[in-house]
Structure 1
């Protein structure tokens, strides 16, 4: 008993800032510093400003996708349709660009709307039909894959990204700062505001903690869940638009490598996989950590299978450390 009292007294003596730091977030930032140190051993340019900005640009694509994933995970749900939501967003944006000047203007919003349509199907299935999110999102992912294979005839898409898509992914509105990083910062700021300053954000945390209690308190839980999945689908598709602009064209497999990293980044940042707990700062740390880890594994020439194993181990480790709080449903 005295040990517990002593620990609480020591905690009270710490500055308020340190008492509010999430241990998972602090751990993630500590791992980032460790990876930077390890990376500098393999390459002397690893700590250069140019290289770090390049890593931030690469991280921004994952960051946009992980933002939507975080909102869904805060609900205690999961979105496994990310791979083909990303691909559909990029492919449909490029497809729209083939229809002249009007198509080029509408390419980006059209790609995002296609992703939102996938999210709408997921949200209706989870919120109104009460289908487990793991099942419905896997199903919509398979349907989206089939539709894109039919559309392309099984071959690589021939449509190219628009000038606007390439500019927002690779250009520099602010000298020295990639546009993709600015876009991620704006989306992140909007996410922080929505989650901390709006009724929607409070409802997301409430549903994640205990959905039945949230419903009994007057929250329209089905509408909140629906909106969350639509946002996730739209952000995944927007990530696909950015990737298509970065590569100047879309590819059928462009989203395959973003499912596990997006989940790992969210969980690594301290968001509970059971829902109801997590901060966007942690997701930012998780995204940067995953990106740096990918960079180091590339330098080490780690095969893709090895990377997937590492992501899985990371998720399991974070579940063991921070995700074993009983679910109150």
Structure 2
């Protein structure tokens, strides 16, 4: 299904509206402009990760290296800034994005060339990146700091709207154009439906897989840059809490975990829903364990819903 807006993709927006209405009875500040814009700022961090994850899931694969691509990009960018060299400081953000693209290409090689299941390969890459970071830092928080540009990207405002949110929307707009107006988008969905048939039709499926994983890696790296700018530093395992919410945002947004169906419109709604739900659970002083349970239940419920819909239309 190539339509940008579908009933499935509208569900997270309806859920977000219901959360705001219900939450306002217990937490009236939820209706204020400052609170809502703060949620947009925070949603951008998760949204960038979910944007990249959507591209990979449309392929019928999954990327579990998100946590340490994010963390690695944050460590690299803050280390370059911490060097004190103006040139290296200027290269901090481009270097982080290049790092994300490189890891994405490595993931693409494992999946498209070596034919290793994406879940296994990307999880192994995530573990390798974790080990390299620990070797580099000795297990301590990495040294370095965010540049003024990174801080501005994460915490700045334009016409009252968070800069991070505008960056996220710009990334979504560009990728949506690729998905809807170029052969890359058609090939991406075709591979998700049936990779073998797409290959036999003459499409260079490995090239599409490389590009998809590289884009996903860059999105994860940008998320790391923004998080480092928000915290003004990088720290160990800063990406670990984002893996489950990232997948949840994509699935809630109506993208099929089996590939071929979905899009970024729903993912944006899913990220907003997850961010607001997390905020409300925190206000209610719900612990991290219960948050994880809630996210897991939501993912399973959406997968069950998608399976039932697929069976009904079969």
Indicate conservation of the 8 Å contact 1:24/1:270, yes or no: yes
1:300 counterpart = 2:284: yes
* Paired residues for 1:84-233 under 5 Å: 84-99=68-83, 100-172=85-157, 174-233=158-217
1:254 counterpart = 2:238: yes
Separation (CA, whole Å) in 2 of partners of 1:58 and 1:26: 21
Deviates more, 1:314-323 or 1:270-279: 314-323
Q: Which has the higher contact order (CA 8 A, sep 6+)?
A: 2
Q: CA deviation at 1:223?
A: 0.8
Where 1:156 maps in the other structure, the secondary structure is coil
Separation (CA, whole Å) in 2 of partners of 1:101 and 1:51: 36
CA change 1:97–1:22 in 2 (3 A) is same
Deviation track 1:12-36 (CA, whole Å, cap 9, x = no partner) reads xxxxxxx995222232222111100
Number of residues paired by the alignment? 307
Moved over 3 A (4+): 323-326
Residue in structure 2 matched with residue 5 of structure 1 by the alignment: none
Where 2:140 maps in the other structure, the secondary structure is coil
1:236 counterpart = 2:182: no
Alignment RMSD: 1.4
Separation (CA, whole Å) in 2 of partners of 1:21 and 1:281: 7
When the two structures are superposed, what TM-score results if normalisation uses the length of structure 1?
0.91
Where 1:46 maps in the other structure, the secondary structure is helix
Separation (CA, whole Å) in 2 of partners of 1:20 and 1:112: 27
Deviation track 1:37-85 (CA, whole Å, cap 9, x = no partner) reads 1211221110111111110010011111111100000000000000101
Where 1:210 maps in the other structure, the secondary structure is helix
Structure exhibiting the larger radius of gyration computed from Cα positions? 1
Separation (CA, whole Å) in 1 of partners of 2:299 and 2:142: 33
When the two structures are superposed, what TM-score results if normalisation uses the length of structure 2?
0.95
Indicate conservation of the 8 Å contact 1:273/1:323, yes or no: no
Which structure 1 segments of 5+ residues have no match? 1-18
